[in-house]
Amino acid sequence: MRSCAAIFVLLLCVSSGFSQKRPGATKKLPASIPVKDGTETREAVKKLDSGSVTGRSYINPTLSFQVTFPDSWLIPGPDFDEYMKSSGFDLHTVNSEALGPLAKKQFSKNVTVLLTAYRSMPGTPDNAFVLIAAENISSVPQIKDAVDYMDAVRQSLVNAKLPPGFKVGETSAEKLGAMQFAFLDTSSGVQKRRLYATVRQGYAVLFTVAYLKDEDLATARDVLAKGDIFLPTRNDTN
């Protein structure tokens, strides 16, 4: 099976949410059940809409979901990364250079980062963030639901040469609100990540939670539980 391009970015190459000052710059847990039934099955692939933000809510019409973050969370605009870099900070939200040329090409082709929401301004100690992304899995017919996708993610990680101290959990599933998500926990030292996934419209829809404190994971779970994951989808296939 083709390895999933998103995994190394979302689990290995995503920063902890703490911006780092560039050198020389003058001035960015719940119970789980191994469930397959009820996870979203794949439909015909549609052109992916990047979605939109209103207040603290993000909505994606192609993938038919909406999530709302707490008022205290930061949802940066499209120029935020450039602003932080111009101020001497590097967020490294997605470090595709670390993938190597072949995987980087696959990532660029198949993975779309849709949104990053921060609990606090990057640079804040013990920060947390949620990264929402989608991977086009139309070329992987073996993946029929979210658990299949997460099994592929886990197997690829197990087969990879992981950094020392990097730990990978078991594929699990959790019902949040009206939706069941497959998920996988990873950790490296005190930094933890949980990757939630559902499969729809020919995409794996990914919610990566990077955190140090368990209360931040609880907040992210609440965001998904209260989100509308069953919005009507657009009928066009353009």
| Residue 24 domain-assigned (yes or no) | no
What is the reported pLDDT for 96? 46
What is the reported pLDDT for 66? 94
142 pLDDT higher than 50: yes
What is the reported pLDDT for 62? 87
Distance from C-alpha of 65 to C-alpha of 59, rounded to nearest angstrom: 6
| Residue 172 domain-assigned (yes or no) | yes
| Residue 235 domain-assigned (yes or no) | no
Mean per-residue pLDDT of the chain: 75
| Residue 123 domain-assigned (yes or no) | yes
Least confident range from 36-50, 143-157, 164-178, 209-223: namely 36-50
Domain that holds residue 103: 6-19+32-226
Residues in CB range of 124: below 8 A, 6 or more apart: 18
| Residue 186 domain-assigned (yes or no) | yes
| Residue 234 domain-assigned (yes or no) | no
| Residue 238 domain-assigned (yes or no) | no
- Calculate mean pLDDT across residues 80-92: 50
pLDDT, tens only, 25-74: 433 333 333 444 444 444 445 678 889 999 999 999 889 999 999 999 98
Least confident range from 91-105, 122-136, 147-161: namely 91-105
| Residue 171 domain-assigned (yes or no) | yes
What is the reported pLDDT for 157? 82
- Calculate mean pLDDT across residues 171-187: 93
Distance from C-alpha of 117 to C-alpha of 56, rounded to nearest angstrom: 9
Least confident range from 100-104, 162-166, 192-196: namely 100-104
Asked whether the CA dihedral 58, 195, 197, 182 is positive or negative, the reply is negative
- Calculate mean pLDDT across residues 224-234: 75
* DSSP per-residue string spanning 37-93: TTSPPP----PPP--EEETTEEEETTTTEEEE--TTSB---TTHHHHHHHTTEE--S
Counted domains in the chain? 1
